[in-house]
Structure 1
Amino acid sequence: MRILSAILGGLLLSASASAQDQNHLIWTESQLAELQQLVEARPSEGLENCVITAFDQPNSATDPNRRSRLATVAANELMMAHLEGCSPSAARSQWRIGSDDAKIDTRSLLMQALVRDDLTAYFNALRPRNPHYRALREAYATEADGEKRATLAVNLERWRWMPLIMGEKYLLVNAASFEATLWENGEAVRTWPVIVGKARTPTPIFDATVSGAILNPWWEIPTSIVAEGIGSMVRNNPARARSRGYVYQDGRYRQRPGPGNALGQMKLVMPNAYSVYLHDTPNKNLFSEEVRTFSHGCIRVGGAIDLVKTLLAGSATAEEVDDILASRKTTRLSTTKPIPIYIAYFTAEGASDGTVSYFPDVYGRDNLELAQNERATACAA
């Protein structure tokens, strides 16, 4: 537990080198046996073909610490497999969720694990902490269906690509399940249905920070959507364009706040490189569809006003939000604290009761060449 607490407290991020020489970690026979058990257990995580350095050679008479050095290499390889996955970089080329996991001083962590003689706690601390991962791991250990096992393996790997520490409070959008979930202290507390991008304009995978919301927003219309017909409407049928709130101002096409605004009554402030954000929508009927891929990439939220009231709790009351919405005045409000948001893609999702739900691979992203399918692929050291 001390090792887990150390990571949670951020004590080993960018840590300075220990005064002890970390190149000479000496392993006991019981620790070597424990590490071997951990290596042999990696198939239960979907890492069966992740290459780990063999360390079971006997000590050499001229180099009695050779096995300890090999064990240290193997332990770090296994750690990286648990922490960041074990697949080629091409497999995660579309996964643009940032992580500081590489800054964790794993050498210091391993040294502490050996000193405290608690390797198992060390590796447990490096596994994804979201309960969805635990449920997927348990299902993978018992699933006999080959297709389901492949799906579980891909999604286990995706969880390893997520940051180890996601935040005490964060939003997780799963584009495959069409849901946005608010997590607090490791538990899912609220969930809202969402609409995501079409197959030809998929919602990207990325992370950002929510700092507030804009109520009664203007819609800054992207060039690609202008080209689909709005531009010609404004030029050729200005009366119709005005009735829909479309205007051309300062060299750009916009839509005024109002009941027909494409963003509905709110959008979250979450700057990112993709100009993708969560927002309301006037087309509430689409939330009754089981597969909700209708947008150009942005994420429309069912119950968007409930979402914004939840996120603004502590900085604005529900009554204040309602008054601003009724005024139709564009207003920006800030959250009490920044909230991390992760736009992810999980086609298998575990529940607290241990069951697993499978979702359609609407973007065709499950066909990844993971280490599970590539025996020659080694984990990063």
Structure 2
Amino acid sequence: MRIFVKIIALAALFGTIAMPVSAQWLGPDDVVVTARSYGPIHPYRAAVEAAYGAETDPARRAILSANLDRWRALPSELGQRHLMVNVPAQEVVLWENGVPVARWDVIVGRPRTPTVSFSAEISGVNLNPWWYVPQSIVRESVGALVRNNPAEARRRGYVASGGSYRQRPGPGNALGRMKLVMPNSHSIYLHDTPARHLFDREVRTFSHGCIRVRDAMGFAARLVGVSRSELEAMAASGQTRTVSLAAPVPVHITYFTAVPGPSSQLDYLNDIYGRDPA
């Protein structure tokens, strides 16, 4: 009975149902214990939970509640060594044994082609990758380029086969010099880019959903466990090849607008996709 009442209390806390009078005796600690049974135990999540308990402003509480919902959607085990992309922060962080050890700026999806939240597993790094053009981009631009200016399309490395299009490896390839091998149903990957000047922008929402990483070769070398020069040597031939990781690395694509800042207080980030409560 007590477990049932706790579930009712949790649902009431996040606005799913009205809390019955018989459950009013439960305190906030009961709800927090139940909430932690969903998703991972994490220092950033703990900071949001603490802020939620202390916050009195209804608008801020709604934002914190939405962020806690996003934490609960994550796997309960993130991995001893894992990557966490936070789309509003426009960054990817490498975590090892519960500690952030490195971070890189990223470019994420535009509001009309947003980067979705999901988890996957990285098994390797694809050097000098071919780009298999998604049909949405074929319809938007590449298909018309191939039809209307085939010479320019060939110069850019596009190869058409039936209704499918690929782009050869090379300096202008949309994936740059590397792409992480991370199978997923969204066709979203972390990769390099030839348009590196875009990393200098404060708001970096330019992609069709994939995640472009600053210093992608240094980033990939860190994951593989080799020096940057060693990875550069592996890619020097220009041939497409895959370098396997010693062990798979989970990657979690997240959307957190309330995160701990350097002053130990929460920072509220720009809600670039308008997902927080208004």
TM range (shorter): 0.7 to 0.9
For the 8 Å contact 2:45–2:68, the answer to whether it is kept is yes
> Which of the numbers 253, 262, 271 marks the counterpart of 2:174?
262
Where do 5+ consecutive residues of structure 1 fail to align? 1-22, 24-31, 58-70, 85-100, 102-127, 369-381
Map of 1:297 onto structure 2: 209
Q: Residue 342 of structure 1 corresponds to which residue in structure 2? A: 252
Between the aligned partners of 2:241 and 2:204, the Cα distance in structure 1 is 29
Deviations 1:251-294 (A, max 9, x none): 52111111111001100000000111111111111112222211
Which residues of 2 match residues 263-278 of structure 1 at below 5 A? 263-278=175-190
Q: What residue number does 2:35 align with?
A: 81
Q: CA deviation at 1:367?
A: 2.7
Contact 2:14 2:65 in 1 (8 A): no
| Cα contact 2:62–2:277 (8 A) shared by 1 | no
SS at match of 2:236: helix
Asked whether 1:287 is paired with 2:199, we answer yes
Choose 261-270 or 353-362, whichever is displaced more: 353-362
Contact 1:212 1:312 (C-alpha < 8 Å) held by counterparts: yes
Deviation of residue 304 (structure 1)? 1.1
Could you say if the C-alpha distance between residues 345 and 232 of structure 1 is closer, same or farther in structure 2, counting changes exceeding 3 Å? same
Q: In structure 2, the residue corresponding to 1:337 is in which secondary structure?
A: strand
Give the match for residue 134 of structure 1.
Answer: 46
CA contact (8 A) 2:217 2:228 kept: no
1:323 aligned to 215, 224, 233, which one?
233
Tell me: CA distance 1:237–1:48, structure 2 relative to 1, closer, same or farther (3 Å): closer
CA pair 165-333 structure 1, distance change in 2 beyond 3 A: same
2:125: which partner in 1? 213
C-alpha RMSD over aligned residues: 3.0
**In structure 2, what is the equivalent of residue 222 of structure 1?**
134
Cα drift, residue 53 of structure 1:
9.2
Cα displacement string for residues 193-243 of structure 1 (whole angstroms, at most 9, x for unaligned residues): 111111111111111100001011111111111122322322332221122
> TM-score by structure 1 length?
0.64
The percentage of counterpart residues that share the same residue type is: 47
Unpaired segments ≥5 residues, structure 2 = none
Separation (CA, whole Å) in 2 of partners of 1:163 and 1:344: 12
Q: Matched residue of 2:36: which SS?
A: helix
Deviations 1:177-200 (A, max 9, x none): 111111111111111111111111
How far apart in 1 are the matches of 2:271 and 2:144? Answer: 36
- Which SS does the other structure have where 2:79 is aligned? coil
Deviations along 1:67-122, one digit per CA (max 9) or x if unpaired, are: xxxx9xxx7x87543323xxxxxxxxxxxxxxxx7xxxxxxxxxxxxxxxxxxxxx
Q: Is the 8 A contact 1:197 1:297 kept in 2?
A: yes
Query: Post-superposition shift, 1:352?
Result: 6.6
Question: Who is 2:157 aligned against?
Answer: 245
Match of 1:19 in 2: none
Distance of 1:196 and 1:205 partners within structure 2: 12
Query: Which secondary structure state, in structure 1, belongs to the residue aligned with residue 203 of structure 2?
Result: coil
* Among candidates 104, 109, 114, match of residue 192 of structure 1: 104
Taking a change above 3 Å as real, the CA distance of residues 296 and 142 of structure 1, as seen in their structure-2 partners, is same
Q: Give how far 1:349 is off.
A: 0.7
- Rounded Cα–Cα distance in structure 2 between residues aligned with 1:347 and 1:333: 34
Shift in Å, 1:154: 1.4
Amino acid at match of 1:345: Y
Change (3 A) 1:176 1:225: same
What letter matches 1:83 in structure 2?
Answer: S
Q: Which has the higher Rg, Structure 1 or Structure 2?
A: 1
- 1:250 deviates by 6.6
| 8 Å contact from structure 1 (residues 309, 321) kept in 2 | yes
Separation of aligned partners in 2, 1:339 and 1:226? 31
Corresponding position: 1:359 with 2:259: no
What is the distance in 1 between the residues matched to 2:257 and 2:44? 12
* 1:145-195 residue CA offsets vs partner (Å, 9 max, x unmatched): 432222122112321222222111111111111111111111111111111
Instruction: Report the Cα distance in structure 2 between the residues aligned to 1:343 and 1:235, rounded to whole angstroms.
Output: 36
Residues of 2 paired with 1:260 and 1:345: CA distance? Answer: 30
Letter in 2 for 1:260: G
Q: Where does residue 154 of structure 1 map in the other structure?
A: 66
Q: Which amino acid aligns with 1:257?
A: P
How many pairs align? Answer: 269
Q: Which amino acid letter does the alignment assign opposite residue 149 of structure 2?
A: N
Structure 1 position 317, deviation (Å): 4.3
What is aligned with 1:6?
none
**Higher percent of residues as strand:** 2
The letter for the 1-side match of 2:126 is I
